[in-house]
Amino acid sequence: MRTGLVTAAVFGAAVLGACAEQPLNTQTLEQARAEVQSFSNNPRASEIASREFAASRGSLSRAEDALKEKKQEEVDTYSYIALRQAKTGEARIAEQAAREQLARGNGERDRIMLEARNAQLEAQNKLAAQQTARGMVLTLSGVLFDTGKATLKPGASPTLDRVSGYLAQYPNTRLMVEGYTDSQGSQATNEQLSQARAEAVADALVLRGVPRGRIDTVGHGPELPVASNDTAAGRQQNRRVEMVFSDDAGRFAEGAKGVNR
């Protein structure tokens, strides 16, 4: 009888232990796996987008290692970076293909140029919005800020118009605006600059009617680059602002940074 009781107690403890261990959320990782695989299968990936090719595979490998070590935040972070890097590489390939098509064209020059611009815009839109463990993230990148500056350029206006319209329709949704810089300059300067860039986006939304109390801002400096800082094109990608949306009740996901919950 005593042996039976001990066995039952051990079995019960094992069951409770198994129930207590929650599985990791791999949604973003699965998206990254699929995107990096698709990017890697492109025969021109290593030729035209070699930096993004190597970087996306490296970030995905880090995400896989973090999964083995059961580190949820690192899984989400490196998966998100791998996803962005793969999509950046795909956009680079599409742009190069458009240029080559343009070079071969003669009488269809205007039509090809229009198709190239449309292809580039489509690629940028794919990069912009992602459902992640931090929630829905909308990225403003491209030629938004000059090096060392926090003044928004006109190219951001269409996206900000859409964001303000969305927030008007969902008055309980809040926004976390995160600023990022390239790696040029000191850490302290970049932290101040990234905060100023986040504030610039927040101010632009306020001018469009969004109450300032619904917007939080944070500057991350050169943290978490999505492209290489060794090239002008990569630094331009890293001079970005990411907007993280809360749920309909105004709550941010656990993975969102800089949020007072």
Share of the chain above pLDDT 90, in %: 31
pLDDT at 141 over 90: no
Q: What is the CA radius of gyration of the chain?
A: 22
Sign of CA dihedral 102, 103, 105, 110: positive
Beta-bridge mates of residue 254: none
Residues constituting the chain: 261
Place 201 in a pLDDT band, splitting at 50, 70 and 90: very high
pLDDT of 146-181, one tens digit each? 777 888 888 888 889 989 988 998 899 999 999 999
138 strand-pairing partners: 129, 243
Q: How far is the CA of 50 from the CAs of 46, 58, 90, in angstroms?
A: 4, 12, 11
Look at residue 174 in the predicted model and tell me its pLDDT. 93
**How far apart are alpha carbons 226 and 78 in whole angstroms?**
10
Give the single-character DSSP code of 26. Answer: -
Average pLDDT over residues 230-255: 85
pLDDT in tens, 125-136: 443 557 777 788
Q: Which structure tokens are listed for 114?
A: 């229009």
The 10s digit of each residue's pLDDT in 84-120 is 989 888 988 988 888 887 777 655 655 555 455 444 4
CB-based contact 145:203 (threshold 8 Å): no
Are residues 63 and 29 in contact, defined by beta-carbon separation less than 8 angstroms? yes
